[in-house]
Amino acid sequence: GAAETRDICADLVGKYRDRYLADRVFELAWTHSQVLLQQINATEADVQLYGRLAASVLYSNSVLRADSSLIIKNLRGQSSLWGYSISGDLPIVLLWIEDQANIMLVRQLIQAHAYWRLKGLAVDLVIFNEDHAGYRQVLHDQIMGLIAAGIKVKRMDRSGAIFVRNADQISEEDRVIFQAVARAIIRDSRGTLAEQMDRRGRVQPKIPVLEPTRVFRSLPPIVEALPRKDLIFFNGTGGFTPDGREYVISTGSEQVTPLPWVNVLANPNFGAIVSENGPSYTWSENAHEFRLTPWDNDPVMDSSGEAFYIRDEERGHFWSPMPGPARGATPYVTRHGFGYTVFEHTERGISSEAWLFVAVDVPVKFTVLKVRNRCGRPRRLSVSGYAEWVLGDLQPKTVMHVTTEIDPQSGAILANNSYNAEFGRRVAFFNVDHATRTVSADRTEFIGRNGTLASPAAMIRSRLSGRVGATLDPCAAMHVVFDLDDGEDREIVFTLGAGQDAADATALARRFRDSAAARKALDAVWLYWKHTLGAIQVETPDPSVNLLANGWLLYQTIACRLWGRSGYYQSGGAFGFRDQLQDTMAL
């Protein structure tokens, strides 16, 4: 439990340690549940069934949703529902009824709607009357009678209410959007409610498990992070390089920063946040309204919806080239620079550098992973990149509306959320520069049931399934396998971006899919910030003032406050006259 003060908490603990009082609490809870059942005239078996259906309302269930091919056809947004007095802000449960003999299904859904409302779950129940027997008015009157017999009749045709519509008065386009946005679709032609709840989903593809060919060695002992000796203004974890152009952070399993120390990478229309643990989130056009990946705002866990992995294909051991989410056994070095961040790491003879930066003039973020074999023998490795799609403000609101496909020319995974009123035409993409890749747009497949990004299910499988489409928990994952001789290195380029439409997104994916394009974009980033930050130099008696005034203060003002309008703790995305006016005082 929780309370306002420690004393109140102590009193509650003492009170409910009494076994007889605890029994009384259970008795009161049982009595309350019986009163609730009588209020809606339901049995315990009924409400258990309604609870199962509520799970599909809260968490998308492909078994009860429309077919993927139909959802992809929908090109209309939330405003298309307004003509039916439905806001689209609440979850929608859609019931199709065409036979008077199945009126019991209507009664159950009305009862379920009342039960959910009493439990605090607001849902729009939409009933399509599709009776073709010539007695539509009779069926309609029966439906309205059941609604009138329920509780809170005054909530008809209001938010969180019941909406009854004649199916023959609904256009084909509107039928598509209703089915596309419904969390659950119940049809009387499919049997009873219990039978529809018990339907099995499509059989998931079986992906072969990775079979190690070498014996897995035990992990080496933990090595503490050793900071560089030449850093200035060093605080025990990080410090500036002598020229002041980078901030270097050394971390290990036992040495971490007290809070996320981040770099804002941005251009005027696109950007990303990167902490010392790895990428945090990415946005396009507006850091609040059109996030490509999730913004978690969790300074304790520093969680993210973006991740990268390196795997030893011979032993099955894997780790991340940056400290999160799958931290390796050896220390990491994070270098925040003007417009870029670099992660350095060496694990079991494999050294890596991960360069993250945003192009200066296009909505594309690069993750360039440089891998070198220093172990004295050939190695077979793989690299995986992963990003969870949002394409809106909050992931729980947008997840069921995101559809994915593969661009046949570039091989990129494309994602679109046509339900987004402002950015419905935008198309995001995720790509890697290797042609021999396997992909997946199914987050459930990649992470696994009850899994985490620290140990995803994909890391014990040999490849990804290639699943894309609708009704998935959307993500973009790509897996590349390659061989490295002793002393050889390899560069893999991942790109994440967004286009104004599908044609623009595919053009960007093709244009920036190789190392040459990435190098050219990085050179442009260096040149821009060198020119911008070097225009004026300030010299004072205080070296710390000189260091901040001659680079970092101006850089943060432009990238974070004017372009990104976002930080780790605040993802506003908006312009404020006072705020931006104050920010420009530093220019």
| Banded pLDDT at 580 (limits 50, 70, 90) | confident
| Banded pLDDT at 575 (limits 50, 70, 90) | confident
**One domain, residues 17 and 47:** no
Find the CATH number of the domain harbouring 115.
Answer: 3.40.50
**One domain, residues 314 and 388:** yes
Flag whether 36 is in a domain. no
Question: What's the average model confidence in pLDDT over 544-559?
Answer: 93
Question: What's the average model confidence in pLDDT over 341-354?
Answer: 95
Round to whole Å and give the CA distance between 210 and 243: 46
Least confident of 101-105, 171-175, 252-256: 252-256
Round to whole Å and give the CA distance between 383 and 370: 11
b (16+ CB within 10 A) / e for 4-32: eeeeeeeeeeeeeeeeeeeeeeeeeeeee
Flag whether 246 is in a domain. yes
**One domain, residues 374 and 507:** yes
Residue ending a domain, among 139, 165, 197, is 197
pLDDT of 206-229, one tens digit each? Answer: 888 998 888 766 666 656 667 788
pLDDT of 468-494, one tens digit each? Answer: 999 999 999 999 999 999 999 999 999
| Banded pLDDT at 239 (limits 50, 70, 90) | very high
* 3-state SS, residue 456: coil
b (16+ CB within 10 A) / e for 526-562: beebeeebeeeeeeeeeeeeebbbbbbbbbbbbbbbb
**One domain, residues 48 and 21:** no
**One domain, residues 306 and 367:** yes
pLDDT > 90: what percent of the chain?
Answer: 69
**One domain, residues 7 and 118:** no
Flag whether 207 is in a domain. no
**One domain, residues 276 and 377:** yes
Flag whether 300 is in a domain. yes
Rounded to two decimals, what is the model's pTM?
Answer: 0.90
| Banded pLDDT at 133 (limits 50, 70, 90) | low
Find the CATH number of the domain harbouring 279.
Answer: 2.70.98.40
Round to whole Å and give the CA distance between 448 and 453: 9
Flag whether 517 is in a domain. yes
Question: What's the average model confidence in pLDDT over 423-444?
Answer: 94
Strands annotated E in 3-160: 92-97, 124-129
**One domain, residues 390 and 474:** yes
Flag whether 322 is in a domain. yes
**One domain, residues 24 and 56:** no
Domain that residue 309 falls in? 238-564
**One domain, residues 427 and 532:** yes
* 3-state SS, residue 320: coil
**One domain, residues 366 and 416:** yes
Provide the number of structural domains found in the chain: 3
Asked if 496 and 505 touch (Cβ cutoff 8 Å), the reply is no
